[in-house]
A and B are shown apart, each in its own frame.
Chain A
Amino acid sequence: SAVISQKPSRDICQRGTSLTIQCQVDSQVTMMFWYRQQPGQSLTLIATANQGSEATYESGFVIDKFPISRPNLTFSTLTVSNMSPEDSSIYLCSVEDRGRVSGSYGYTFGSGTRLTVV
């Protein structure tokens, strides 16, 4: 199965600043996904990132707030811009893991970035 390296693992940031989260995958993947997990909540998809095109954002998320880069098939970044305390969450990247699930859908997740905005 794919292995994802996500960093930073955690950060404490001042409101109004921005943080960029990086995900590196050990194999080439077409789509990468960014999720937010607010305290005590489930996961919410922020956007889907394809290499060479703009990311597709879910309802309630906009590019100005969460710009995403996808420069190649193994790497993506998510930036949380102009942060406020409401942005305090765990952010996770994910890729489809077709090898492990033998052609059906399954996903591998990064270890997450725990963001606290003060």
Chain B
Amino acid sequence: GDSVTQMEGPVTLSEEAFLTINCTYTATGYPSLFWYVQYPGEGLQLLLKATKADDKGSNKGFEATYRKETTSFHLEKGSVQVSDSAVYFCALTNTGGFKTIFGAGTRLFVKA
């Protein structure tokens, strides 16, 4: 079945450091890929998405590129801020479907 694997956390960075959170997926067909963010005490928010190969999703300085050849959708940000501290979830929704498969989540701590 479809699955999402993302790097284990927690990830601890200093402010202005470069961030990469790895995400790979297994799916039949042509899934849409997402990153969601969960700030402390809150629900999930859609951060960015990509719906086909080579698409790049971007939002709030974060970006991720849909790489079909490596089945990956790694999240990157050039300069993190303390306010980026949260749990990040990689997810996919497969073609014609509505069920979203989530990765385990990666907790990010950013130190001032």
Contact = CB atoms under 8 A, between A and B. Distances in A.
A100 to B, nearest CB: 7
Interface in A77-118: 92, 94, 96-97, 100-101, 104-112
Interface residues of B, number: 19
Given A96-B98, A105-B32, A110 B43 contact: yes
Interface of B: 32, 34, 36, 42-46, 49, 51, 89, 93, 98-100, 102-105
Contacts of B36: 109
Given A43-B44, A104-B51, A106-B34, 12 more contacts: A33-B98, A33-B100, A41-B105, A48-B98, A48-B99, A105-B32, A106-B32, A106-B49, A109-B36, A109-B45, A110-B43, A112-B43
A104 B51 CA distance: 7
B98 A92 contact: no
B43 A100 contact: no
Contacts, number: 51
26 contacts: A33-B98, A41-B104, A41-B105, A42-B89, A42-B104, A42-B105, A43-B44, A43-B102, A45-B99, A48-B99, A92-B44, A94-B44, A97-B46, A100-B46, A101-B49, A104-B49, A104-B51, A105-B32, A106-B32, A106-B34, A107-B100, A109-B36, A109-B43, A109-B44, A109-B45, A110-B43
Given A42-B104, A105-B32, A112 B42 contact: yes
